[in-house]
A and B are shown apart, each in its own frame.
Chain A
Amino acid sequence: MADFFLGHYAYWFTIILLCIGLYGILFKKNLIKKTIGLAILQISVVMYFVSVASKWDATVPVLDPNIPVDQVANYLNPLPHTLMLTAIVVGVATLGVAFTLLIAVYNRYETLDEEELIDKIQ
């Protein structure tokens, strides 16, 4: 049982991050905090991909003359990392759009608190 928890600690870490992110999105009233929750949610998925690709005692995926190329286990899998570079860029772009929208919201209503905002809209 302890092995199940300790052996998968990287996954437990990402699950906790995922839950924090979802909590932020669902329950925080401040729109900036919601956006931060969204960023944490995205980062948790990035961390998942990165931890899936990591290996003990493996080297970077550049051909090393001392390590034969057919021993794949000696090299890290580069694909998830490169995918996550794209996902991080997507996340940054999303945050940029989110903050732009928040500036527009603030200029129109002068508040970023969700309840106040809904009062002012009606």
Chain B
Amino acid sequence: MIESHLPAYIALTFLLFSVLIPAFGIWRDELSQPLAVIGSGLAAGFSIYGFYSYLQLGSIRYFFGGWEPPIGIEFVYDGLSGFFALVINTVAFFVIIHSNKISKREFPGKEMPYYALAMLMMLGFNGMVLTGDLFNLYVFLEIASLAGYAIIAIGDRQAPYAAFRYLIIGTAGGTLYLLGVGFLYTVTGTLNIIDMSAMLPQFAGSTAVVAALILMIVGIGVKAALFPMHGWLPDSYTYASSSSTALIAPIGTKVAAYILFRIILWLFGVELTDAVVPFTYIVGVLACIGILYGSIMAIAQSEMKRMLAYSSVSQIGYIIMGLSLANPWGFAGALLHVLNHAIMKAALFMISGQIRFKEGHSSVNMFDDTYRKKYPWTMAAFTVTAISMVGLPPLAGFFSKWYLALGTIDNSNWLFLAVILISSLLNAVYFFRILEKVYMMNPDKGQKEAADAERDEFSGSMLWPTSILAFSLIVIGFANAIIVGVLLNIFPM
């Protein structure tokens, strides 16, 4: 019984709590964070159960109001949707637990609107992941984006301007996507993804279809921060408050990458995508440039949040490169990287938020070896996550890069393989720089300062989510064969 309604439950939980939080928040402001934790926890539970039942029973198509598509709107809970919903809801649950103290410090008195917006944004992301209708996807995209602009604008002095720039470029991207949907609608007369993908092969080579594909890739590429369209990302992530960044950074670009997966592999299919111009290769090359550019820019940054933001540009490149390979290994590597990167980026942004909370800054230059004494567990979690980002076995980050590399070898695509290897080295440069400062003694200062530092670990509401996420990377690393076995079954061809 519950299985057949699960797709709706996941999205509606967030909708319910986005209304409940203001209702209770007016009465008691401090209730909003626990309510948000309950809401995201329920949704995470539904998506874990949903993915489990997908493995047992197969995919679910949920028709709203009992109207069958193409007349009605449906939610499609298949492997890809289920996997993404599982990843984003679980990560959001941990981030929202973590943001309790930080939200009270960074924007006191505004917790209620923040958590209500966070729930609305998660509604939008889940709707995008679950919906089976292209126009519905646009509406959810705009719900998530509008809530996201507001969430990014809560933060430092420069945050509203960064959010405004994101708004202009993001809305332009969304509008181009809508125009692409319009082209496809005039050609096929339907908006349902499954229905449309059955009809599209008749129109292979039609200029309207090619134009629609370009418009959709460009429009969604803006949201995914694909290389030339990434300009909004570093400023937004740097100036937004720590809890906002920790929520948006692991989730937002992943969901946009999901739409690219859905469009290229499911809606069009690789053959139709490449019918006129080899789009998958072009997208792959852009992703490669993004990987190298993001890594090099990350090395140049001294502010930790900005460094992580550029690192996000680079990591989203891996995911889209795996998509562009369009073979089972590349696909499994990309999806595994979605999981790994969501966990790693959430943990890293949470740690940067913690350091801001206690030290008042997150500048890499001011890290020193007292941190190791003061925050031993946080720094251990940071070390695990950083090593996983660099991609050393047996941590999770190694395996997603390994499967991506297998995918490039399958396609004999040596350029992409070289990019993966080089960027791993570049990742090592900017993460080991911090580890060196934290774990090595600074010869200029001598040992006295480090010895004096008192142990001053963070409270449980911050330490536990960070530690669980960081150490889950080890578990995922060892369980990678099982996860990849599941992911290979999702591959559509």
List chain A positions with a Cβ less than 8 A from chain B. 18, 22, 25, 31, 34-35, 38, 41-42, 45, 48-49, 52, 80, 83, 86-87, 90, 93-94, 97-98, 100-102, 104-105, 108-109, 117, 121
* Cross-chain contact of A35 among B138, B160, B168, B185 (Cβ < 8 A): B168
Q: In the complex, what's the smallest C-beta–C-beta distance from A32 to chain B, in angstroms?
A: 11
Kindly list chain A residues whose C-beta atoms are within 8 Å of the C-beta of B146.
Answer: 93-94, 97
Given contacts A94-B167, A98-B164, contact A45 B175 (CB under 8 A): yes
Interface 9-mer from B104-112, B150-158, B260-268: B150-158
The complex places the Cα of A76 from the Cα of B157 at a distance, in Å, of 51
Q: In the complex, what's the smallest C-beta–C-beta distance from A82 to chain B, in angstroms?
A: 10
Q: List 6 A-B contacts (CB under 8 A).
A: A25-B169, A38-B171, A45-B182, A49-B182, A52-B185, A100-B150
Given A80-B185, A93-B146, 8 new contacts (CB under 8 A): A25-B169, A35-B168, A52-B186, A94-B142, A94-B171, A101-B161, A105-B164, A121-B158
Given contacts A94-B142, A101-B153, contact A25 B168 (CB under 8 A): yes
Are A25 and B179 in contact (CB-based, < 8 A)?
no
Are A90 and B160 in contact (CB-based, < 8 A)?
no
The complex places the Cα of A49 from the Cα of B149 at a distance, in Å, of 27
In the complex, whether B139 has a CB less than 8 A from a CB of chain A is yes
Q: In the complex, what's the smallest C-beta–C-beta distance from A119 to chain B, in angstroms?
A: 12
Given contacts A93-B146, A101-B153, contact A41 B160 (CB under 8 A): no
Kindly list chain A residues whose C-beta atoms are within 8 Å of the C-beta of B172.
Answer: 22, 25, 38, 41
Are A90 and B139 in contact (CB-based, < 8 A)?
yes
Are B164 and A102 in contact (CB-based, < 8 A)?
yes
Kindly list chain B residues whose C-beta atoms are within 8 Å of the C-beta of A117.
Answer: 161
Are A93 and B142 in contact (CB-based, < 8 A)?
yes
Kindly list chain B residues whose C-beta atoms are within 8 Å of the C-beta of A93.
Answer: 142, 146
**Which 8 A-B residue pairings sit nearest by Cβ, starting from the closest?**
A104-B160, A101-B164, A90-B142, A105-B160, A101-B160, A45-B179, A105-B161, A94-B171
The complex places the Cα of A119 from the Cα of B202 at a distance, in Å, of 54
In the complex, whether B163 has a CB less than 8 A from a CB of chain A is yes
Are B175 and A98 in contact (CB-based, < 8 A)?
no
Binary contact readout B107-139 vs A (1 if CB under 8 angstroms, 0 otherwise): 000000000000000000000000000010011
Kindly list chain B residues whose C-beta atoms are within 8 Å of the C-beta of A52.
Answer: 182, 185-186
Q: In the complex, what's the smallest C-beta–C-beta distance from B403 to chain A, in angstroms?
A: 38
The complex places the Cα of A18 from the Cα of B180 at a distance, in Å, of 13
Are A48 and B179 in contact (CB-based, < 8 A)?
yes
Kindly list chain B residues whose C-beta atoms are within 8 Å of the C-beta of A38.
Answer: 168, 171-172
Are A97 and B179 in contact (CB-based, < 8 A)?
no
Q: In the complex, what's the smallest C-beta–C-beta distance from A117 to chain B, in angstroms?
A: 6
* Cross-chain contact of B168 among A34, A90, A100, A105 (Cβ < 8 A): A34
The complex places the Cα of A35 from the Cα of B185 at a distance, in Å, of 28
Kindly list chain A residues whose C-beta atoms are within 8 Å of the C-beta of B158.
Answer: 121
Kindly list chain A residues whose C-beta atoms are within 8 Å of the C-beta of B164.
Answer: 31, 98, 101-102, 105
The complex places the Cα of A22 from the Cα of B179 at a distance, in Å, of 14
The complex places the Cα of A104 from the Cα of B159 at a distance, in Å, of 9
Q: In the complex, what's the smallest C-beta–C-beta distance from B36 to chain A, in angstroms?
A: 21
Q: In the complex, what's the smallest C-beta–C-beta distance from A4 to chain B, in angstroms?
A: 14
Are A87 and B178 in contact (CB-based, < 8 A)?
yes
Given contacts A101-B149, A108-B160, contact A86 B185 (CB under 8 A): no
